[in-house]
Amino acid sequence: MNSQLQGKKILLGVTGGIAAYKSILLLRLLVQAGAEVKVVMTDAATQFVSPLVLATLSKHPVEIEWTKDNHTWANHVMLGRWADIMVIAPATCNSIAKMANGVCDNLLMAVFLSATCPVVIAPAMDEDMWLHAATKRNINTLLQDGHVVLPVGYGELGSGLTGQGRLIEPVEIFQQIEMQLAKEKPLAGLSAVVTAGPTYEPIDPVRFIGNHSSGLMGITIANALHAAGAQTTLVLGPTHLTANVGVETIKVTTAQQMFDAVAGVFPSTQIAVMAAAVADYRPATVAHQKIKKQVDELEFSLVKNPDILLHCGMNKSSNQWVVGFALETNDEAAHAMDKLRRKNADMIVMNSMQDKGAGFGSANNKVTIFEPEAGPLSLPLMTKQDLAKEIVSLIAKRIHEKA
């Protein structure tokens, strides 16, 4: 596997939660990428995952206690200085509280406090714990201390409930580690705004006009821009997905709200990526009460929503780069080039409804990129995370060529 992790020294911390089993999968990915990994576990973590499994995969003894069976000392200072990066996954609510407040009551916490390398923290807990004010304070403290805190996932939790707090998948953590160890920050000193997700246009207090966009493509682009060094603002439509901590997120519902949010930040940014699936039209009037099913047919008038990409394209300065997205069903190339010209964009990323296993509701995408003075660039089917890195890399290249 060709990876930026080849030869890197990674310290993997595992705390005691049901999500600890995912540490096995993460460790396997890291080792396959050529990294040297040492594992430190809390005593509670050993109740969920066997240290023998982690030791076998890492080819290093797993450190758990302050002293070893041969009465020698586990040197937490040297462990903390050995690594190029430290990753704590999963990080329970209890361990996050300890890290935020400097509590040093086990070997893992001592190693964390001794670490001289970047630290990535992947939380995992029940939704009520994740949303608690105390946890939010602890997360903010860790961020202020310069650590990287990854977002939580949404899905089935250890309690049996469904909600926020789930540990994100090992491949996502792996990708974040790669981003943190990336040597180049080609967009450092620049700022970016990204739109993502659908918009909902209300018909009455209950119903709305919307679409199937999850927002994943735009969110991964925002994450990739942030990882490349750009100060990034994400304007996000209705979705349960979240961006990485460090990406400023403005949540909106309607196209008008998204337009207002983008118009407010666009003048101070150098990069604008309009990846949201914005409704072109909205109902001319919104019923104040739920419309009853009294007739066989219902008619209502639609009015055009403001065009966010057009606004950015027509108001951009010479030092701003504007990227739009296009989802096409026929005559894809012609429509994409027409959109590029009409919106005065610098780049259009086009994906087709004809491509199976890509686009809405999929973790993968396949696109063709159109530019005014370059031939179409077709990219093969790949994960949206990998595609986001390709798009951001091309944006960075074009910006530096223009400078």
Q: What is the pLDDT of residues 348-373, one digit of tens each?
A: 999 877 766 666 667 888 899 999 98
* pLDDT at residue number 268: 97
* pLDDT at residue number 355: 66
Q: Mind giving me the DSSP string for 317-370?
A: -TT-EEEEEEEESSSHHHHHHHHHHHTT-SEEEEEETTSTT-STT-SEE--EEE
Phi/psi of residue 148, nearest 5 degrees: -100, 120
**Rounded CA gap, 300 and 156, in Å?**
40
CATH number of 191-402: 3.40.50.10300
Task: Say if residue 298 carries a ligand binding annotation.
Answer: no
* pLDDT at residue number 20: 96
pTM equals: 0.71
**What sign for the dihedral angle of Cα 308, 309, 314, 318?**
positive
User: Low-confidence residues of the chain, pLDDT below 70?
Assistant: 1-3, 67-76, 183-184, 355-361, 403
* pLDDT at residue number 383: 87
Task: Say if residue 309 carries a ligand binding annotation.
Answer: yes
Catalytic residue, candidates 94, 211, 344, 364: 211
Task: Say if residue 205 carries a ligand binding annotation.
Answer: no
Whether 191-402 and 9-181 are alike in CATH topology: the answer is yes
Task: Say if residue 68 carries a ligand binding annotation.
Answer: no
Distances (CA, A) of 320 to 220, 232, 395: 21, 14, 11
**What sign for the dihedral angle of Cα 65, 71, 72, 73?**
positive
End-to-end CA distance of the chain: 34
Q: Does the active-site annotation cover 211?
A: yes
- Structure tokens, 246: 């460090």
How many CB atoms neighbour CB 69 within 10 A?
6
Task: Say if residue 343 carries a ligand binding annotation.
Answer: yes
**Rounded CA gap, 26 and 24, in Å?**
5
Task: Say if residue 12 carries a ligand binding annotation.
Answer: no
Domain residue limits, the chain: 9-181, 191-402
Q: Which class is 9-181 in CATH?
A: alpha beta
Task: Say if residue 48 carries a ligand binding annotation.
Answer: no
**Rounded CA gap, 27 and 332, in Å?**
42
Q: Encode pLDDT of 79-102 as tens digits.
A: 888 999 999 999 999 999 999 999
- Structure tokens, 232: 């990034």
